[in-house]
Amino acid sequence: MPELPEVQALVEFLGERTSGLVVTGVELGSISVLKTFTPPPQALVGAPVDGVSRHGKFIDIDCGGTHLVFHLARAGWLRWSDAMPATVLRPGKSPIALRVRFDDASGFDLTEAGTKKRLALYVVRDPLDVPGIATLGPDPLDEAFTIDVLASILQQAGRAQVKGVLRHQGTIAGIGNAYSDELLHAARMSPYLPASSITGERLEALYDAIRTVLGEAVERSRGLAAADLKGEKKSNLAVHGRTGLPCPVCGDTVREVSFADSSLQYCPTCQTGGKPLADRRMSRLLK
Ligand SMILES: [Zn+2]
């Protein structure tokens, strides 16, 4: 799933490619991805692209005051083409959810792999009409996101586990499963640590990790073509998705805790004093 750094890079990529262009076609391959009724997607046709921006993990293309907003969810992706195929997309079982065309023959497809369709598309006059945007927490790379802001977020979260707090979009915008694993590894912190216990040096370590890990990922992703972003993200992760592989910092074996529809990865030596975390699924299996 693309998170803040990849979405930011996509926004910059789209902003450059679509600057000065006019939308000439909007085709839906899947009706269920569209979450709004008015204005209709056809309202975008004929409109100039005035800018592309990011709200958390949402991408917002401002087309003459009508906004095309989308969230790529877990298995969604954007495929840019300098020369779009002439075939008109029709609603059906296509992995392509949306096709947008511009007046220089370029355009993009939003695709979604897998059976669970979570990709979400909105056509709105105001981005704040998108419920997921209206409720977003502060952006961790925004200047206003100071260490005091993080401290107050953690105190308000009380005994909730820090991993969940970092991922919750209404608390902090843009961080998902992968980067929360990475931030906690960089901060040498257990994902199960109660949020309100993070003060003093730990707070500083977590704040630094957020700014450094996300900031560096944005820098690495910047300027890459949409097609190259996925590989770039994967090749630079220290623990996320690396169960069984050596930790790049200490060499210990990266471990995993599984949940119903996700998993987290961590390094015991770097993060939990060498102790493996309880894995409820594993212990259930052993009973
Ligand atoms: Zn380690």
Residues 120-172: pLDDT tens digits?
999 999 999 999 999 999 999 999 999 999 999 999 999 999 999 999 999 99
Does residue 248 or residue 221 have the better pLDDT? 248
> To which residue do tokens 């969604």 refer?
76
Residues 62-101: pLDDT tens digits?
999 999 999 988 778 899 999 999 988 888 767 899 999 9
pLDDT band at 280 (very low <50, low <70, confident <90, very high): low
- Strand 107-112 and strand 96-102: the pairing is antiparallel
**pLDDT > 90: percent of the chain:** 78
Residue 254 CA to ligand 1 centre (angstroms): 7
Residue 252 CA to ligand 1 centre (angstroms): 5
**pLDDT > 70: percent of the chain:** 97
pLDDT score at 222 = 85
Give the pair of three-digit tokens for residue 13: 């990529």
Residue 258 CA to ligand 1 centre (angstroms): 19
Residue 188 CA to ligand 1 centre (angstroms): 8
Residue 183 CA to ligand 1 centre (angstroms): 13
Residue 213 CA to ligand 1 centre (angstroms): 16
pLDDT score at 273 = 96
Which residues does residue 68 pair with via DSSP β-bridges, in sequence order? 61, 123
Residue 134 CA to ligand 1 centre (angstroms): 38
Residue 185 CA to ligand 1 centre (angstroms): 8
pLDDT band at 281 (very low <50, low <70, confident <90, very high): low
pLDDT score at 287 = 46
Residue 186 CA to ligand 1 centre (angstroms): 9
Q: What is the mean pLDDT of residues 92-119?
A: 88
Residue 191 CA to ligand 1 centre (angstroms): 14
Of the given ranges (17-21, 73-77, 193-197), which has the lowest mean pLDDT? 73-77
Residue 201's contacts (CB-CB under 8 Å, 6 or more residues apart) are none
Task: Give the chain's mean pLDDT.
Answer: 92
Residue 237 CA to ligand 1 centre (angstroms): 13
8 Å CB contact between 114 and 77 = no
pLDDT band at 236 (very low <50, low <70, confident <90, very high): confident
Residue 246 CA to ligand 1 centre (angstroms): 8
Residue 271 CA to ligand 1 centre (angstroms): 7
Give the distance, in angstroms, between the CA of residue 241 and the centroid of all CA atoms in the same chain: 16
Q: What is the mean pLDDT of residues 6-33?
A: 94
Residue 197 CA to ligand 1 centre (angstroms): 22
